[in-house]
Amino acid sequence: PAGVYNMINGDGPNVGSVIASHPDVDMVSFTGSTRAGILVAKAAADTVKRVTQELGGKSPNIIFDDADLETAVTSGVMHMMGNTGQSCNAPSRMLVQSSVYSEALKIAEQAASTVLVDQPSKEGEHLGPLSSRVQFDKVQHLIKEGIAEGAKLVAGGSGKPEGLETGYFVKPTVFADVNN
C-alpha cells in the first residue's frame, strides 16, 4: 500500500531524528555517519521502534605489488564513483604498496578521467549529482581541505564539471599522499 515504504533524503541529525521519533513511523532504516546514527537510535528509543543502520563505512582497498594493478586500481576508482560516492561501502581509501605506488597513481588518474558526469535523467553509466546543496558544500569543503592539508590532487578538484553549472555535480576527484 501507498506509504508503507518511503525513501527520504536528508541529514541524520535533523531529518533522521524527526522521522525516528515520530509515533506513526514503525521502523527506520538509516544509512549515514556513526554520529548521526547514534542520534537516530536515541530518537527511536522513546517509541521503541525497530532501527536498522549502516554507519560510517571507510572501506579501504589494499593493493600489493603482486596484484593485477590495472584491474585493482581501476575497479577501486570506479566503485568509489558509484552512487556518487555516497554508498556506505564505497572504497574511499586505497592503500598501495610503495613499489607500485607511482604506477597506481597513473592508473587512478586515467580511471577517474573516464568517469562521465551528467544528468541523472540520461541513460547510461555516469556520475550524477549529489543529493543536496548541504552535501555539495560539504564535499567541496573536504576537497579544499585535502588540498590545504597537502594532499596531491591526482584528478578532479573543487568546483563543478564544465557544462554542469546547475545542480550539485562534483568533479570525479582522486587524491594521493593523503594523511590517513
The active-site residue out of 54, 70, 125, 149 is 54
DSSP 8-state symbol, 63: E
Residues 120 and 166: their CA atoms lie apart, in Å, by: 13
Active site (annotated) includes residue 165: no
Distances (CA, A) of 134 to 53, 113, 140: 22, 26, 10
The active-site residue out of 70, 88, 145, 162 is 88
Residue 95 in 3-state DSSP? strand
Question: Among 17, 157, 154, which residue's Cα sits nearest to residue 73?
Answer: 154
Active site (annotated) includes residue 162: no
The letter for the amino acid at 160 is K
Give the catalytic positions in this structure: 54, 88
